[in-house]
Amino acid sequence: MKRAGRRQAEGWWLLSDNAGAAAVDSRQFGPVPPELIEGRVLGRYWRARRSQA
């Protein structure tokens, strides 16, 4: 599973969520053209902000 990190002129920069396990991502093969990406968002998660007192 890869995460779309950022969009560039050449395509999407994909990041592995487990880079420490010798995962292959855009650090090895560069940006991926948008027409090669397939997927859908099932949910999004943001951590709650801590109040600064």
pLDDT tens digits along 3-53: 788 898 999 998 887 767 777 888 888 999 999 988 877 888 887 887 776
Report the pLDDT value the prediction gives residue 31, as an integer from 0 to 100. Answer: 94
| pLDDT score for 19 | 66
| CB-CB contact of 15 with 2 (8 Å) | yes
Give the residue from 47, 35, 27, 36 showing the smallest Cα distance to 13: 27
Residue 52, in any domain of the structure: no
Q: Domain for residue 14, yes or no?
A: yes
- Phi, psi (5° rounding) for residue 17? -80, -10
CA distance 17 to 23: 9
Does residue 45 lie within any of the structural domains? no
Give the predicted TM-score (pTM) of the model: 0.59
Residue 31 in domain: yes
Q: Please give the residue range of the domain that contains residue 21.
A: 2-36
Q: What is the rounded distance in angstroms from the CA atom of residue 24 to the CA atom of residue 39?
A: 18
Number of domains in the chain: 1
pLDDT at 53: 61
